[in-house]
Amino acid sequence: MSKKKEFLKIMFSGGGTGGSVTPLLAVAKELRENIKEIDLLFVGTKNGPEKKLVSTFHLPGTPVRFRIIKAGKWRRYFSWRNFFDIFQIIIAFFQSCILLIKEKPDVVVSAGGFVSVPLAWAAFFQKIPVLVHQQDVRPGLANRLMAKTAQVISTTFAKSLNDYGSRAQWIGNPAPQKPADSYIKQVRKQYELVGEKPLVIITGGGTGAAVINQLTWEGAERLSQVAQVFHLTGAGKAPSIARREKLAALYDYKWREIISSEEMLALIADANLVVSRCGLATLTELCAFNKSAILIPMPNSHQEDNAAVFSKKEAALVLDQEKLDSYKFSESIINLLNNDARREALSYNIEKVMKKDARERMAQLILQLANK
């Protein structure tokens, strides 16, 4: 990489879920490792998981700074909350204008989330270059609104080139680097994941998935007999006090609401099997680390489109949430753990689903915009 300026400032934005955050943090690390004198700033929501993800993310040099703006959301169905959120969006736009005047970033980068929409439009009016990254197969409303402001729209899948036209570039989805073996061992020891049983990671993402949590809790006793289970419940979705007492008796079942992105990467990298929703950030990590996986997309959402790509390529076992109970859920996990050949095939196929080097490609696009 090269740069024309001695000092650059890049403003990232996203939030509401961790999915729009972790790819940008991977790019932030790529930029910092190649350009020491670069100021990195992240703009997100007050109550979303992004603040903790950013604050616990380790970078060489100065940490990524975090700033909060209002986050309204426009729903494409009747909701009384739209009447209140329109004022939130207006306030967020003026907050964004003030923030951009104060910070003067060279480029604004977003991978989605409604918190980014007023920021992107404020950057557009101040003639600051905007890069929008389309992660999912199906374009969301926030990205469609921001696309009008963007000089470049990078995409995870080739199909998205048709959605965004000549400004779109197909690069894949930025993936983090695989953690060092020593760090993986440290994290396993920290969460008392020891012994010879295979490691199963179950996650519904940063905000969690209530249905997956319930299925896991009901099947935890059976699963912990054959595997070490690490369950990420999501922020604010801890088990009840009564359930915690029962779960505490299961030595090979561990749960946390949310952990740092680096700790989660270490556990995914070391897992024998990952059970997950179909957010693109997690899917990207599974592809990067060649992990066998069971995917349970959120019904009637863009996640079903994401899951269809993996199912078609035989890169993951996709389950229909509407047809699951705790027995079918645990049985699917146990059967796949006992089928080494199937897991190896899934691991082989998932590596080929996404383009490689997206992290480096996005960093290059950002620098090209900054140097203009």
Same domain, 366 and 296: no
Task: Read off the pLDDT of residues 256-290 as tens digits, 9 standing for 90 and up.
Answer: 998 888 899 999 999 999 999 998 889 999 999 99
Tens-place pLDDT, residues 61-115: 889 999 988 765 554 544 545 556 677 788 889 999 999 999 999 999 999 888 8
Same domain, 211 and 346: yes
Measured distance CA(304)–CA(299) in Å, rounded: 7
What is the enclosing helix (H) or strand (E) of 370? helix 358-371
Q: What percent of the chain has pLDDT over 90?
A: 71
In a domain, 64, yes or no: yes
Burial of 372 (0-12, 13-18, 19+ CB in 10 A): exposed
d(CA 300, CA 302): 7
Would you say 12 and 372 are in contact if contact means Cβ atoms under 8 Å apart? Answer: no
Whether residues 126 and 217 fall in one domain: no
27 part of a folded domain: yes
CATH number, residue 170: 3.40.50.2000
Total domains in the fold of the chain: 2
Are 330 and 197 members of one domain? yes
**Where are the strands (E) in 224-316, listed by range?**
228-232, 253-256, 273-276, 293-295
Are 199 and 323 contained in the same domain?
yes
Based on the fold, state whether residues 129 and 239 are members of the same structural domain: no
320 and 345 housed in the same domain: yes
Residue 154 and residue 129 in one domain: yes
Q: Which domain holds residue 360?
A: 8-174+355-371
pLDDT for position 18? 65
The answer to the question of residue 1 being in a domain is: no
Q: State yes or no: pLDDT of 185 exceeds 80.
A: yes
Asked whether residue 146 is assigned to any structural domain, the reply reads: yes
Please, what sign has the CA dihedral across residues 229, 230, 236, 241?
Answer: positive
Q: Which helix (H) or strand (E) holds 77?
A: none
